[in-house]
Amino acid sequence: MRFNFLSIALLTGLATIVSAQGNFCDEASRFGNLNVSPSTLSPGQTFTVTANLTCAIQLDNTPTFLDYYIDATATHTVTGPILIARRTYDNTTSPPIDQFTAVLPNWFYFTDASYSLMMDNSFARPGPTGQSVITVGGISAGINITGF
């Protein structure tokens, strides 16, 4: 009996820990979470961007503006990043998701470059005098660009 009671108490404790982890926002999510669908794109193709701002807001990085870019890295010089969307965030949005569709512009892409969609989250913070200052943090999601 005593053993059973302890087991139940232990299981209840574990269930609490597991459900608490469901709401846990890790450091990587501090400016939001970003998803691009589909993630392999050709110029002219429409894609959906979904930014989940739950963790950004929870960690006090509530967006004022959200800027979205396509960026590239390569062993040679690449021109860019290219701006995809500049959006003003309304903090009454529920659930706190910024979702929109965009079209991949025709641009100078390279087969040997690695591409990502970047989101810059501009959020207000009190400065040393208490006056609000907007600072920026970013997150990126990998994409493939083909067919150019």
Ligand X SMILES: *[C@@H]1O[C@H](CO)[C@@H](O)[C@H](O)[C@H]1NC(C)=O
The binder of ligand X chosen from 7, 16, 37, 40 (CB under 6 A)? 40
Nearest distance from residue 19's CB to ligand X, in Å? Answer: 11
Work out whether 13 is an interface residue with ligand X (CB under 6 A).
no
Cβ pair 112, 75 in contact under 8 A: yes
- Stretch near ligand X under the rule CB under 6 A, chosen from 11-19, 50-58, 74-82, 131-139: 50-58
Q: Does 97 bind ligand X (CB under 6 A)?
A: yes
Cis peptide before 43 (omega within 30 of 0): no
Classified as helix, coil or strand, 84 is strand
Identify the DSSP state of 127: -
Interacting residues of 44 by C-beta distance below 8 A, sequence separation 6+? 103, 104, 106
Which one of residues 45, 52, 114, 140 is an interface residue with ligand X (CB under 6 A)?
52
Three-class secondary structure of residue 99 per DSSP: strand
Q: At closest approach, how far in Å is the CB of 148 from ligand X?
A: 15
Cα separation, 146 vs 123, in Å, equals 34
- Please select the residue that binds ligand X; options are 34, 56, 104, 143, rule is CB under 6 A: 143
> Does residue number 51 form part of the binding site for ligand X (CB under 6 A)?
no
Q: Does 54 bind ligand X (CB under 6 A)?
A: yes
Spatial CA neighbour of 142 closest among 118, 111, 110? 118
- Contact between 42 and ligand X (CB under 6 A)? no
- The residue ranges that bind ligand X (CB under 6 A) are 33, 39-40, 52, 54-55, 57, 62, 91, 95, 97, 142-144
